[in-house]
């Protein structure tokens, strides 16, 4: 069966899924170019694909923001056609045995800070910052981090007047509990500071391999969220950042000290990580852990097949 959307995109195999719809590999029938197609049933209880497509349109043109080619309804589905991207940071974290080197963490932090700064500059907060929502590019953009999944994004200010949304409490947790800020757990309306704090937890997760509030058991979702919040609030920053450079604690303490409507100093945060990068003597060469790991795995497979035991010439993986 030849499934098409927008008259010129053919739907292929499923490549991803989330709580809000599935993503398929698609092909532009005219040019042959591969793209991604996100589908959502028109009967969805809480439809949000049209909203997400509108957010992408508002963010269009930013570095590391996928471009939406088409949005519309096809049969029983709302469909969004956009740039095809590579693996998520969560996929790559698993590929690298759930630990990233300091160099890879800092290379990622630099780009992640820039993505969040851009989204904020366009008057939106993401509200679901997590490794699954950042994807590497493909082909010649293979080293670029891309921000995705704007279904939970929200305007935190009026785009024209820059008048900030009011402070509110008693809000339900929006996003993912593991990376949620303490204020989000406490029911406070989210703002820029919460995206920044969530990014801090993502960076720590990559550096440590896990977070202390992972795997907590509870009877209900609410009890589980409460246990996560309690663990987050009672784990001192120095314990959370033990064995890591001081910059990680500086970052987290800075984000947690921001007031509701404060504009984070993105340049300052990028600078502390860049200075650490230079001090460590790292090269800004976009050689991530998975680049090296992929090369080693390839070399081992080739060596095994050919009976040698060293990297074979000319087998470097394109990245």
Residues annotated within the binding site for ATP are: 38
Which residue do the tokens 């591969």 mark?
A: 34
Query: What kind and span of H or E run contains 146?
Result: strand 145-147
Residues 6+ away with beta carbon under 8 Å from 81: 5, 6, 9, 26, 35, 36, 37, 68, 69, 70, 71
Q: Could you tell me which of 4, 24, 27 has the C-alpha nearest to residue 16?
A: 24
Give DSSP secondary structure letters for 51-66.
HHHHHHHHHTT-TT-P
Burial of 15 (0-12, 13-18, 19+ CB in 10 A): middle
Q: Enumerate the known binding-site residues.
A: 38
What is the distance between the alpha carbons of residues 186 and 220, in angstroms, rounded to a whole number? Answer: 17
Give Dmax over CA atoms of the chain in angstroms: 68
Question: Is there a catalytic annotation at residue 83?
Answer: no
248 with 203: CB under 8 angstroms? yes
Catalytic pick from 2, 110, 128, 226?
Answer: 128
Residues 6+ away with beta carbon under 8 Å from 156: 120, 123, 124, 125, 164, 165, 190, 191, 192
What residues act catalytically? 128
């Amino acid at each position: 069966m030849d499934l098409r959307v927008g008259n010129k995109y053919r739907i292929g195999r499923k490549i991803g899924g989330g709580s809000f719809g599935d993503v398929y590999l698609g092909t532009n029938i005219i040019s042959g170019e591969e793209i991604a197609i996100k589908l959502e049933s028109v009967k969805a209880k809480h439809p949000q694909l049209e909203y997400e497509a509108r957010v992408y349109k508002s963010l269009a043109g930013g570095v590391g923001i996928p471009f939406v080619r088409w949005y519309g309804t096809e049969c029983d589905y709302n469909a969004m056609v956009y740039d095809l991207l590579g693996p998520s940071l969560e996929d790559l974290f698993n590929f690298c045995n759930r630990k990233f080197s300091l160099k890879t963490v800092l290379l990622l932090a630099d780009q992640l800070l820039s993505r969040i700064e851009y989204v904020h500059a366009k008057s939106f907060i993401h509200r679901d910052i997590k490794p699954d929502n950042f994807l590497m590019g493909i082909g010649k953009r293979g080293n670029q981090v891309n921000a995705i999944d704007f279904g939970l994004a929200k305007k935190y200010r009026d785009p024209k007047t820059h008048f900030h949304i009011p402070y509110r409490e008693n809000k339900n947790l929006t996003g993912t509990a593991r990376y949620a800020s303490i204020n989000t757990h406490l029911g406070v309306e989210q703002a820029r500071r919460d995206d920044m704090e969530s990014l801090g937890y993502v960076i720590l997760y990559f550096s440590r391999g896990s977070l202390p509030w992972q795997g907590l058991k509870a009877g209900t979702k609410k009890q589980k969220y409460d246990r996560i919040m309690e663990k987050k609030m009672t784990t001192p920053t120095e314990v959370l950042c033990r064995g890591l450079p001081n910059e990680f604690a500086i970052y987290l303490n800075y984000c947690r000290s921001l007031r509701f409507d404060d504009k984070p100093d993105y340049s300052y945060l990028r600078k502390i990580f860049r200075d650490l990068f230079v001090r460590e003597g790292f090269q800004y060469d976009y050689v991530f852990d998975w680049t090296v790991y992929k090369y080693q795995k390839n070399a081992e497979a080739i060596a095994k097949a050919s009976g040698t035991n060293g990297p074979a010439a000319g087998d470097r993986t394109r990245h």
